[in-house]
Chain A
Amino acid sequence: MIPPFSGLEFGIVLAMFAIVTVLGFAATRWRRGATLASVEEWGLGGRRFGTWVTWFLLGGDLYTAYTFVAVPALLFGSGAIGFYAVPYTIVAWPLVMFAAARMWSVCHEHGYATAADFVRGRHGSALLALLIAITGIVATLPYIALQLTGIKAIIEAMGIGGDWPLWIAFVVLAAYTFTSGLRAPALIAFVKDILIYVVVLIAIIYIPYKLGGYDVIFHKANTALVPKKATTLLAGSQYLGYSTLALGSALALFLYPHSLTGVLAAKSRNTVKKNMALLPAYSLMLGFIALLGYMALAAKVKPVGGTKKAPDTTTIVPQLFNTEFPHWFAGLAFGAIAIGALVPAAIMAIAAANTFARDIYRPYLRPSASDREEGLVSQIASVVLKLGAVAVIVALKVSFAIELQLIGGVIIIEILPAVVLGLYTRWFHQWALVAGWVVGMGLSVYMLYVTPSKTAAHFGSASFAFSTWGFHTKVTIWTGVVGLVANLIVASALTPLLGRLPRGQDQTSPADYEEAEAPAMALDPPAHPGTV
């Protein structure tokens, strides 16, 4: 079934897209330095973003179209387990607060632009840095594709057939990201977030009012979930899966290249830390958006697209707006979701492109490359990555977009020992970290491989059922946690054994991790002694 096409909806979405495009190109002139042609300027916005810009940038970066589309789809299809997104984005902030601040300081001090840059400087191992770089790029690709599924859902709900709008949207996005770099998504994020806040606020008041209150919504949702063998509460066997999913996703969040890009673009250590207290505001929005999944169940919304056996449930939120709101408001909501996908897609492509230019192109392909050339390679790589993501999403039909991101999370968490523990200690031997990565990644990928879904035999889900290994239980666990534990065991066991092998040179000193501002200022006496 294809929903009827509305000219008004399409016109509003098109107009919003046009405004954002103008902003994207205009961003070239925003707070620019002497030249844009370097990873520092193009890819990190010159490391000059203050509290508010960082808040919008990180918010737009981390709470993506996946928020709007895939989380409610998970509640719609699987009940309470889908609400894991809320504890996930609650625990992320206290967990990463100090690590992110240390990361900002050491990268600012040494001019590192990526996690692989840091690992090369800290552990003195080119191989380990290469593994970190490849892991980051591979994990980011499905995340960019995930953003596309958000736009795709909108296109389907607007009653437009074919993938051509997707191509046009991404070609335009690639063009202004190429010229403006990180400044483009930073500027667009303002528009995107304000729009989304307005849309969500209206939706969570108006829809429950129309459907008869949250009481009715939860009751009807529960009834509708029964045939799917789910409820609005967790089953006992889901506890471990729920907790590990939330904790693991939170740990993985700041290992992604795009998160680090957002952190490193901040102008000071305080800016980073202050944002860990301000970013939960987005989680509140996420929580209510998640509940749209139950509202869709209560309103008996039918997904469009996909196949009969596996309908494309990512379309339920757009469909909910279609059925409950007038066309002009649905158009506004669709535009907000589409822009909400463009912002993170741009930042992710920039971050992965920086990683390619800094950590693969320069060290391995052209050691003599200038900063300018490195910047240009990054710009070109960002275009290739975006178009590659469109090709992937057009070729593969994905019914549960969220599983793509979960697989990315399972992969990226394997760099935690080298990066996050590396921020605190040099105890680990670099070869032990390499071995840990190999074992952890191997185990995780194997576990993903043997996990089927309703529609696929392999790579079906990031929730691993212990019954696969012959245990008589329904308990599942987030695959990434198992891989991470294996990684840590191997790295810890091998480090004492490798004690006699030479260690890589550490370029950093303990003070580098505490730097608050530019080095010259850190030498000044503190203005208010005793406040630290």
Chain B
Amino acid sequence: MTDNGRPRRRRPVVLLLVLPLIAVLVPEFYNFGHPAIGGMPFFYWWQLAWIAGVAVCTGIVYRATRSPR
């Protein structure tokens, strides 16, 4: 689809979507007990923290790519 006669391009901001994939799909990065937070091993809080991370990434991409109303 075109806007103002220009072909639509994927913006680099879309690359943000790759970040959470790398962060949680490679257990080599986070399969450790330390440092723990409040007694919770690194393995668990790292992945839980990325829930917020993914929401931020998809949120930014949504705002950058949403269709005009």
The chain A residues found within 8 Å of chain B, CB to CB, are 80, 83, 86-87, 89-91, 93-95, 97-98, 213-218, 232-234, 238-239, 242-243, 246-247, 268-270, 273-274, 276-278, 280-281, 283-284, 287-288, 291, 510-511, 514, 516-517, 526-532
Contact = CB atoms under 8 A, between A and B. Distances in A.
Contact of A280 (B38, B39, B47, B55): B55
Chain A binding site: helix, strand, loop or mixed by DSSP?
helix
B58 A277 contact: yes
A232 B43 contact: yes
Given A86-B24, A234-B43, A270-B66, 15 more contacts: A83-B47, A89-B51, A91-B20, A94-B61, A214-B40, A217-B39, A268-B67, A273-B62, A273-B65, A277-B59, A283-B54, A510-B1, A514-B8, A516-B68, A532-B3
A514 B1 contact: yes
Q: 9 smallest A-B Cβ distances: which pairs?
A: A215-B39, A516-B67, A214-B39, A94-B17, A526-B68, A514-B1, A87-B24, A277-B59, A277-B58
Contact of A511 (B1, B52, B55, B59): B1
Contacts of A91: 20-21, 24-25, 54
Contacts of A216: 39
A234 B20 contact: no
B38 A214 contact: yes
A146 to B, nearest CB: 23
B43 A86 contact: no
Nearest to A524: B68
Interface of B: 1, 3-4, 8, 14, 17-18, 20-21, 24-28, 31-33, 36, 38-41, 43-44, 47-48, 50-55, 57-59, 61-62, 65-69
B48 A287 contact: yes
Nearest to B18: A94
A90 B50 contact: yes
A284 B68 contact: no
19 contacts: A90-B54, A94-B18, A97-B62, A215-B39, A217-B39, A233-B32, A243-B25, A273-B62, A280-B54, A280-B58, A283-B51, A284-B52, A516-B67, A526-B3, A529-B3, A529-B4, A530-B4, A531-B66, A532-B68
A344 B61 CA distance: 29
A73 B58 CA distance: 30
B10 to A, nearest CB: 9
Given A94-B20, A280-B54, A274 B66 contact: yes
A273 B69 CA distance: 14
B27 A234 contact: yes
